[in-house]
Structure 1
Amino acid sequence: MLAGCAVGPDYVKPTSTTASTYKELEGTGWKPAQPADFGTRGAWWEVYDDPALNALEARVATENQDVQAAQARFRAARAAVAQFRSSFFPLVTASGDYSRARSSANVLHKSTAGLTLNDYLVQADASWEPDLWGRISRSVEGAKAGAQASAADAQSALLSMQAELATDYFELRGIDQEHQLLDNTIKAYRDALDLTQHRRAGGIATDADVAQAETQLRTTEAQAIDLDVQRTQLEHAIAILTGQNPSAFSLPIAPLVAVPVVAPTGVPSALLERRPDIAAAERQMAQTNAQIGVATAAFFPNLVLSVTGGLEATNFSSWLMAPSRFWSLGPTLAGTLLDFGGRAAVKEQAQAHYDESVANYRQAVLGAFGDVEDNLAALRVLEQEALAQNDAVSAAERALAVISNRYKNGAITYLDVVVAQTTALSNERQSVAIARRRMAASVALIKALGGGWDASQLPTDEQIVHPDAPSGAASGAPVTRG
């Protein structure tokens, strides 16, 4: 291609701050194994062993419209690479023309004055700009990096939708479990109300006891109805995430049976290759770096080689004969001599965009480490909280049994029973809430670790240029797993 020296800086990946270990792993006994040991590659949600969740997750890659939009943006970015690459090759155009015109008779020294003539013309033009300063190659370099960034963005969108679906699903199952708890409690409260009414009829209980028992029952029924609202909204959200109409979608009631899984974190430095959002930020740095080269090339003249040839005649019968041919060939060298700082401003702007992308990359790295540490801490603390809460539930149940027996024996008023029932129910609901939070933190940790993805799955330069090229670990399109 007669490509010359590509001006501008060659891309070098900037450094970023990492740590040797995750702080929140200390003292937990959790092993920082590699994700491959954990099985998070591919369908990471299968570690929860929930067939209903597996079926829903399988739809996200193909049916979620946010994911489809992100993949369309990748295809557009890949097409932009083809557009820039076309500048490496000559531009060839062709045209044909016919006209009939009369020249003025009052024009001196013109051989066609006063004549009416036909003009038959067919011609082809070709022009080619050798990439002497790397303007085209830098543009292609930037477009390829942009396409890879778009592929990483598409993977990030997919991972986000998969994680959101899992979080909503476990939240819904937690609500189902809490609803089951309330249903059992409502049944027990109805029995308690019947008992209190019979005791009042026998002169043992008072009207106040009956009123307190009924209040307890109605309050719990209202709480169960409120859970119905939350469940319905989560069901609608799951339908949308899986590309289904909420009006035609429903999930059968089932309790939360999955247990939180602590994903192996690997070494912190590996996180830079496992997060698609970090990969996107890194590729955006490469893209903006290439734009500095494009801006630098504008300071140098452009060389264009042009050739034109064709046939032209005033008579149709002689139009396609050899004497009708014409041609021209020659180079054009053009450059800007004075623009009062315009090109310098464009280069400065490109440098500023690169500096911005570096800051964004480093911020993405810091945020990624923060995500991992946050969810490791959440899982560690919630595990301890769950153990303490289980003890609280057991203690509340024992207290309720003792107080209920004392009430039946007439030793205390029903108010004491109400207090014990409220305490027991509150502790049981809190236990379910902690279970939901542990599942959410478990999913969030897997997402924070990249869901088993790594940067080797980005499309290579060859796969961007030729989408049907064979691939190994990488793919010519954003990686979708379902």
Structure 2
Amino acid sequence: MKSTRITKYIIIASMPVLLVSCFSAKEYVQSDEAVLPEGTATYRTDQLSQDSLSMAEVSWRELFTDPVLTQYIERGLENNIDIRVALQQIVAAEAYAKQAKAGYFPTLSANARYTHQELAKNSPMSAFMGSSQDQYELTGNLAWEIDVWGKIRSNKRAFQASYLQTVAAHQVVKTRLIANIASVYYQLLTVDEQIAVTQETVATRRNSLETTKALMEAGTVTQVGVKQTEAQLYTAEAILVDLKNQAFLLENSLSILLGESPNNKERGTLEEQQITTELVAGVPAQLLANRPDVIAAELQLRQTFELTNVARSNFYPALTLSAGGGFQSLEFDQLFSANSLFANLVGGLAQPILNGRKIRTQYEVAKVQQEQARLNFKQAVLTASKEVSDAMFTFNTASEKIAIKQKEYDAYALAAEYSQELLNNGLANYLEVLRAQENVLNTNLDLVNAKNRQLQSVIDLYAALGGGWK
């Protein structure tokens, strides 16, 4: 049979126009949680600058001046496994975002089919068509959903927010990685300094032990004094063993951050570390512009908001247009004949009525997820302000503690020197010397820790302000 079949179904489009007033996709408005109150109360500090410049705007290359450290950060950003995983997540999210943009366009499919049919001899059709039949078809189908309720638009925006969220998540990883590399590097320098202090103390106590033995032979001190001096030497040697073990573990940790197998790490010294960047936090509103985790939390809120729009639109009828056409023939050589051409156009309006409450459940779950995202966003903003406050206060207290510990160390060092001279002249008790030497070591180790704490607070402040990823 050779014929042209053209079927048209015409719909009345007035109903969607009337219903559009009942629902339209809502526009996202930035949550109140996004605005931090202006003023120093946000950070509990009077160190906030009203200048628009913030530490977060400073490149990590300017903040960290140690050439070895900057080299490590560059290697970490290139090789770290977490960074590479985050980049792959961006690629996947970008693919979904591209798919969402294509939602406005119709779908097109093509199909080529050959059918061979053997008919029963007693079949009524065999009397007209014979015992067998061949049919050739070449068809195409076009389908398009009209975005009356903003469903496709909201879905596209949701995927865009998801993509931007993965970008922000990648920036979070970069910030944390830079901070972690700098933190471990400074800890390693701190342990190196403490090892040097302890090695010097071991050498001093060996000399003290020899001096104490000589004083025992002279009758100035007893065997008890010698053994206590000897025990003090062993205490320092045990501290040295622990410090060397800590340095070894820190080298391994730094290697992993750099995406490398554990190995020895070149490094500078603690005394060489200089922070020349002015510690300026900027105004509270800048926090949101730089903190990638806060940005990611808001984008998550925006995504759930748009998905709630999508879920709401499912309550309303879907307006679709579809068209199909092609060539159909019983003879292959007549397949592309004008008489083999057929086409159809179908318009549809599908309204969900009873579907086991699935649509309402999806909508209710979407609203719950949106509320969860809003609370997570609020928590991210509060956490960000806390971290800035903690880091700035810790830096100030660490600076004060360094000055105090330096005075304490100078006093103990002088006391140890005087007590040793008095003991050598038989004018002091050996216990006073032991106590003075113990205080010198502990205070010196504390002083090094205070310097490290100051450097760590700079890193914490830089990360808390959203720096590091630019």
TM-score, normalised via structure 2 length = 0.89
1:85 aligns with 2:101: yes
Contact 1:383/1:438 (CA < 8 Å) preserved in 2? yes
Aligned to 2:174: 158
Aligned to 1:395: 411
Contact 1:107/1:113 (CA < 8 Å) preserved in 2? no
Deviation sequence 1:32-52 (CA, Å, 0-9, x none): 1557465x5353253242111
1:424 aligns with 2:423: no
Aligned to 1:330: 346
Question: What's the C-alpha RMSD, in Å, of the aligned pairs?
Answer: 2.5
Q: How far apart, in 1, do the equivalents of 2:105 and 2:446 lie?
A: 68
Give the letter aligned to residue 250 of structure 1.
K
Aligned to 1:15: 32
Which residue among 250, 258, 266 is the counterpart of 2:273?
258
Q: How far apart, in 2, do the equivalents of 1:215 and 1:253 lie?
A: 33
C-alpha spacing 1:8/1:439, structure 2 compared with 1 (3 Å):
same
The Cα of 1:253 is off from its aligned counterpart by 6.5
Structure 2 SS opposite 1:268: coil
C-alpha spacing 1:262/1:193, structure 2 compared with 1 (3 Å):
farther
1:304 aligns with 2:320: yes
Q: How far apart, in 2, do the equivalents of 1:75 and 1:121 lie?
A: 40
The Cα of 1:275 is off from its aligned counterpart by 0.9
Contact 1:125/1:306 (CA < 8 Å) preserved in 2? yes
Structure 1 SS opposite 2:323: strand
The Cα of 1:309 is off from its aligned counterpart by 1.6
The Cα of 1:382 is off from its aligned counterpart by 1.8
The Cα of 1:26 is off from its aligned counterpart by 7.5
The Cα of 1:320 is off from its aligned counterpart by 3.0
Give the letter aligned to residue 317 of structure 1.
D
Deviation sequence 1:365-420 (CA, Å, 0-9, x none): 11111111111121122222221111111110111011010111122333221111
Q: How far apart, in 2, do the equivalents of 1:414 and 1:93 lie?
A: 96
1:356 aligns with 2:369: no
Structure 2 SS opposite 1:129: strand
Structure 1 SS opposite 2:237: helix
The more displaced of 215-224 and 253-262 is: 253-262
Aligned to 1:145: 161
Q: How far apart, in 2, do the equivalents of 1:25 and 1:85 lie?
A: 41
Aligned to 2:6: none
**1:146-225 equivalent positions in 2, closer than 5 A:** 146-225=162-241
The Cα of 1:153 is off from its aligned counterpart by 1.2
Q: How far apart, in 2, do the equivalents of 1:180 and 1:137 lie?
A: 65
Contact 2:54/2:281 (CA < 8 Å) preserved in 1? no
Deviation sequence 1:332-361 (CA, Å, 0-9, x none): 222212235432232222122111111111
C-alpha spacing 1:24/1:223, structure 2 compared with 1 (3 Å):
farther
Contact 1:176/1:256 (CA < 8 Å) preserved in 2? no
Contact 2:42/2:385 (CA < 8 Å) preserved in 1? no
The more displaced of 261-270 and 217-226 is: 261-270
Aligned to 1:468: none
Q: How far apart, in 2, do the equivalents of 1:419 and 1:222 lie?
A: 18
Structure 2 SS opposite 1:101: strand
Which residue among 374, 399, 408 is the counterpart of 1:383?
399
Give the letter aligned to residue 80 of structure 1.
Y
Consecutive unaligned residues in structure 1, runs of 5 or more? 453-479
Give the letter aligned to residue 204 of structure 2.
A
Deviation sequence 1:295-347 (CA, Å, 0-9, x none): 12112211222221222222222223332222222212222122354322322
Give the letter aligned to residue 13 of structure 1.
Q
The more displaced of 279-288 and 94-103 is: 94-103
Q: How far apart, in 2, do the equivalents of 1:325 and 1:27 lie?
A: 80
The Cα of 1:204 is off from its aligned counterpart by 4.2
The more displaced of 77-86 and 208-217 is: 208-217
Contact 2:116/2:134 (CA < 8 Å) preserved in 1? yes
Q: Which has the larger radius of gyration?
A: 2
Contact 2:159/2:303 (CA < 8 Å) preserved in 1? yes
Q: Identical aligned pairs, as a percentage? A: 26
Q: How far apart, in 2, do the equivalents of 1:35 and 1:401 lie?
A: 52
Consecutive unaligned residues in structure 2, runs of 5 or more? 1-12
C-alpha spacing 1:24/1:398, structure 2 compared with 1 (3 Å):
farther
Q: How far apart, in 2, do the equivalents of 1:26 and 1:46 lie?
A: 27
Q: How far apart, in 2, do the equivalents of 1:245 and 1:331 lie?
A: 63
Give the letter aligned to residue 434 of structure 1.
A
TM-score, normalised via structure 1 length = 0.87
Deviation sequence 1:203-250 (CA, Å, 0-9, x none): 54432232222211121111111011111111111111111111x442
Which residue among 403, 412, 425 is the counterpart of 2:428?
412
Give the letter aligned to residue 379 of structure 1.
F
The Cα of 1:107 is off from its aligned counterpart by 2.7
